């Protein structure tokens, strides 16, 4: 341990994360680092595990299945990509959190599979920010409509919100988007819906996770800052 490139990168990212928490006056360790391992080999994910990273984020179910069996069973896997309803069964089997629920039809599919297995699945609602033509994410009003329907999905535990702001070089550009999501979170929390928790905010990636921490993120999803640049598919 200690000498792989991933161990060095993990130490740097965790250091920056703790520093951002301190700057923001937040408790040390209140933000969880989700290591995004899409396109990363199982071998390198295992290096990350040995470097002390224990929560991994994947965007493709099939790709994740090839790695999950090769990591210790204590590893936690979050799904962060666009989820097709026909993958709901596999998704509830292997992911402890599905961060990208953005429509009622997907919640229906997850509910069906989770209740069939007799389990409860943690989910975040993914909301769209910026006017970029991103494929995924509910509108803010759409997210409010979804939480009002929470009683239809007793096997899903709605824990908070997730968002992916448009990519820019300047992390400050993401700040208003992060802030808007936090305000939406507060607005939803104020509805006092008994089935809905709003404790989690998954905001921030390699370029802007420090700003996200300052704006209240509880989860940051970091890939390239840990594992290096990905092939063009996901750049």
Ligand X SMILES: *Cc1c(COP(=O)(O)O)cnc(C)c1O
Binding site for ligand X (CB under 6 A): 36, 38, 59, 80, 164, 205-207, 221-225, 234
- C-beta of 80: minimal distance to ligand X in Å? 4
How many angstroms separate the CA atoms of 208 and 167, rounded?
9
- C-beta of 38: minimal distance to ligand X in Å? 6
Which alpha helices (H) appear in 57-208, and where do they start and end?
61-68, 88-94, 104-117, 140-148, 175-190
For residue 48, the surrounding DSSP H or E stretch is helix 42-50
Helix (H/G/I), strand (E/B), else coil: 9? helix
- C-beta of 36: minimal distance to ligand X in Å? 4
Q: HSE-up of 116 (CA within 13 Å, CB side)?
A: 11
Nearer to ligand X, 169 or 192 (CB): 169
Nearer to ligand X, 128 or 221 (CB): 221
Which two tokens mark 11? 């130490």
Nearer to ligand X, 58 or 155 (CB): 58
- C-beta of 145: minimal distance to ligand X in Å? 23
Residue number with the smallest Cβ distance to ligand X:
223
Nearer to ligand X, 150 or 162 (CB): 162
- C-beta of 136: minimal distance to ligand X in Å? 9
How many angstroms separate the CA atoms of 189 and 218, rounded?
15
Nearer to ligand X, 150 or 212 (CB): 212
How many angstroms separate the CA atoms of 157 and 160, rounded?
9
Nearer to ligand X, 41 or 149 (CB): 41
Residue 210 DSSP symbol? H
CA 188 vs CA 111, 125, 183, 196, 213: distances in Å: 21, 11, 9, 9, 20
- The DSSP bridge pattern shows strands 121-127 and 156-163 to be parallel
- C-beta of 114: minimal distance to ligand X in Å? 22
**Across the chain, how many H-helices and E-strands are there?**
9, 8
């Amino acid at each position: 341990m200690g000498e792989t490139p991933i161990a060095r990168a993990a130490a740097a990212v965790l250091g920056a994360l703790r520093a951002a928490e301190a700057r923001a006056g937040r408790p040390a360790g209140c933000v969880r680092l989700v290591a995004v391992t899409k396109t990363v080999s199982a071998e390198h994910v295992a290096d990350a595990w040995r470097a002390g990273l224990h929560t991994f984020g994947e965007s493709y179910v099939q790709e994740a299945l090839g790695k999950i069996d090769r990591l210790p069973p204590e590893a936690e896997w979050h799904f962060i990509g666009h989820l097709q309803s026909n993958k709901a069964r596999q998704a509830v089997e292997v992911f402890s959190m599905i961060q990208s629920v953005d429509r009622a039809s997907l919640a229906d599919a997850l509910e069906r599979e989770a209740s069939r297995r007799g389990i409860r699945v943690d989910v975040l609602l993914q909301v769209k920010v910026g006017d970029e033509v991103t494929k995924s994410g509910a509108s803010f009003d759409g997210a409010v409509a979804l939480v009002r329907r929470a009683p239809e999905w007793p096997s899903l535990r709605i824990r908070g919100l997730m968002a992916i702001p448009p990519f820019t070089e300047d992390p400050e550009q993401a700040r208003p988007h992060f802030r808007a999501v936090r305000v939406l979170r507060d607005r939803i929390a104020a509805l006092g819906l008994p089935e809905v928790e709003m404790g989690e905010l998954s905001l921030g990636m390699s370029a802007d996770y420090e700003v996200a921490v300052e704006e209240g993120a509880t989860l940051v999803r970091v890939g390239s800052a840990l594992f290096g640049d990905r092939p063009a598919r996901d750049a």
